[in-house]
Amino acid sequence: MASIREVGRFQRIGAHSHIKGLGLDENLKAIPIADGMVGQTEAREAAGIIVRLIKEGRMAGRAVLLAGPPGTGKTAIAVGITRELGKDVPFISLHGSEIFSTELKKTEVLMRAMRKAIGVRIHEFRTVYEGEVMDLEVKTTRHPYNPYQQVPESARITLATRDERKTFTVGREIAAYLIGQGVRIGDVIQIDAETGRVIRVGRSEEAKGERYEIEAERKVPRPSGPIKKEREFVYTVTLHDLDEMRSRRGSLLSLFFGGGEAEMDSTVRQEVDEMVRRMVEEGRAEIIPGVLFIDDIHMLDIEAFSFIARAMESELAPIIVLASNRGITRIRGTDIEAPHGMPLDLLDRLLIITTKPYNADEIREILKIRAREEDVKLTDEALEYLTKIGVESSLRYVVQLLSPAAEAAKARGSDVVDVEDVDKVRNLFADVKRSVEELKKFEELMLR
């Protein structure tokens, strides 16, 4: 006897998947624990003001720098800014070292990242024929090159809504679409009047035929109104998507096929910018500035900094958020030392937000949030032990111990992490301090 079992959905838990916003009230005051954010009240309140400036369109020509020690929530704040701006706002994260590509110029990598961080919401009105298929007859003919194969020549289809019923004859292309989509009587379909493309929406709730207790068919109501109607389709793409489409002179489907990494012609981007401006003026599109987050900004060189400074003044520029955990260090490509390894003329144009190390209470609350996110159950004693380790070592290290500790608990037949599980994985996985101690201990045996 065949068995049916529910398949668990794929889930990947990211380092900042628990961040839902900045955790501020209506007066831009930081709530101690909210939206997945803990502590860093001054930094979050400063980020809240940044969000207000962005929404009011007053961030032109400026960027944000998040400066603080490692593991103090700089990336979390950048993600929080994006969440506060809206669900469709693009968020592109780039590491400073990623610009040094073997295939593309540094400026090309940065330009692509910036254009990926700018969304365009396009509103398109199209004429469609929509209804439930009441009757369908496909006429076939012999294939011109293979007499033993039949191909569709035309079709006769009857569509019905709650208010109208009509019969149409359609050509070879639409008939081929109908066969390819597996359309049958009782299906609700849409036929694009311009391209002839057929979309199978689902199975009508009023369709006759045998009913099954378990079906994979999507049930939809029979449409109402006229069969021929104007429908609005709204989809969001990025400027980089439009660049790719323009360079291949294709459609949205061309994004999924062909082409390796190559430099984009500047004239293509100019054409796309003009097209987007025209669509915005006509009310057919709207621009959604996203967030480009560049971590470890000190990895960039003087040429990249100059490019960013110029790009910040562009009309079509994303919200640029930089992050650094360095103090006074050399600017790559020069012999000059400067704060965060950045040119002073660029630093003067940044709104700098500083982050501070977390205290024990904040580490405890972050561990609770991450444990819930990763579905790890902790005893109170294990939580306190992890908090103590986090204070002595680092927040990142102790967060990384959660999943290994859960596996250790499973190995001894428990689904709750206890102190002994934490202690076991702590001995198995060294933190930076213990790693340095081991290095010094076996220094003479190490390769130099």
360-441 belongs to which CATH class? mainly alpha
**Cα(448)–Cα(439) distance, integer angstroms:** 12
Residues 298, 342 contacting (CB under 8 angstroms)? yes
Q: Determine the pLDDT at residue 108.
A: 85
Mutual angle of helices 239-248 and 266-281, in 10-degree steps: 120
At 6, is the pLDDT very low, low, confident or very high (cuts 50, 70, 90)? Answer: very low
- For residue 303, with 0-12 CB atoms within 10 Å meaning exposed, 13-18 middle and 19 or more buried, which class applies? middle
Q: What percent of the chain has pLDDT over 70?
A: 90
Mean pLDDT for all residues in the chain: 82
Rounded-to-10 torsion of CA 146, 149, 155, 161 = -140
How far the first Cα of the chain sits from its last, in Å, is 65
Which is more confident, 212 or 87? 87
Residues 247, 186 contacting (CB under 8 angstroms)? no
Q: Determine the pLDDT at residue 177.
A: 85
3-class secondary-structure state, position 169: strand
Q: Determine the pLDDT at residue 216.
A: 61
Mean pLDDT of 373-388: 89
Beta strand pairing status for 350-354 and 63-67? parallel
**Cα(194)–Cα(362) distance, integer angstroms:** 58
**Among 21-25, 42-46, 245-249, where is mean pLDDT lowest?**
245-249
Architecture per CATH, domain 33-117+290-354, reads as 3-Layer(aba) Sandwich (3.40)
Beta strand pairing status for 377-378 and 350-354? unpaired
Domains 33-117+290-354 and 119-286 fall in the same CATH topology: no
Task: Look at residues 229, 227, 270 and name the one whose alpha carbon lies nearest to residue 247.
Answer: 270
Q: Determine the pLDDT at residue 65.
A: 92
Angle at CA of residue 214, ends 209 and 219, nearest 5°:
60
For 316: left if phi > 0, alpha if psi spans -120 to 50, otherwise beta; the answer is beta
In sequence order, the 6+-apart residues with CB closer than 8 A to the CB of 383 are 364, 367, 368, 371
3-class secondary-structure state, position 316: coil
* Structure tokens that stand for 21 in this block: 């916003």
* Structure tokens that stand for 332 in this block: 């790559």
Can you give the residue ranges of every domain in the chain?
33-117+290-354, 119-286, 360-441
**Cα(327)–Cα(144) distance, integer angstroms:** 74
Task: Look at residues 33, 14, 13 and name the one whose alpha carbon lies nearest to residue 22.
Answer: 33
**Cα(187)–Cα(157) distance, integer angstroms:** 12
* Structure tokens that stand for 57 in this block: 């369109």
- Is the pLDDT at 272 greater than 80? The verdict is yes
* Structure tokens that stand for 244 in this block: 């790719």
Q: Determine the pLDDT at residue 106.
A: 84
- Is the pLDDT at 334 greater than 80? The verdict is yes
3-class secondary-structure state, position 106: helix
Angle at CA of residue 341, ends 344 and 303, nearest 5°:
75
Mutual angle of helices 360-373 and 380-392, in 10-degree steps: 120
State pLDDT tens for residues 53-76: 888 878 777 889 999 888 888 888
- Is the pLDDT at 5 greater than 50? The verdict is no
Task: Look at residues 194, 159, 196, 192 and name the one whose alpha carbon lies nearest to residue 177.
Answer: 196
pTM: 0.69
State pLDDT tens for residues 182-228: 888 888 888 888 778 888 888 888 777 656 555 566 788 888 888 88
- Is the pLDDT at 317 greater than 60? The verdict is yes
**Cα(166)–Cα(350) distance, integer angstroms:** 63
Q: Determine the pLDDT at residue 215.
A: 59
Mean pLDDT of 132-151: 80
Mean pLDDT of 413-419: 89
- Is the pLDDT at 9 greater than 60? The verdict is no
Q: Which CATH superfamily is domain 119-286 in?
A: RuvBL1 DNA/RNA binding domain (2.40.50.360)
**Cα(192)–Cα(126) distance, integer angstroms:** 7
Task: Look at residues 20, 18, 13 and name the one whose alpha carbon lies nearest to residue 85.
Answer: 20
- Is the pLDDT at 171 greater than 80? The verdict is yes
Q: What percent of the chain has pLDDT over 90?
A: 7
Q: How big is the chain, counted in residues?
A: 448
Q: Determine the pLDDT at residue 10.
A: 37
At 101, is the pLDDT very low, low, confident or very high (cuts 50, 70, 90)? Answer: low
In sequence order, the 6+-apart residues with CB closer than 8 A to the CB of 411 are none
Q: Determine the pLDDT at residue 34.
A: 82
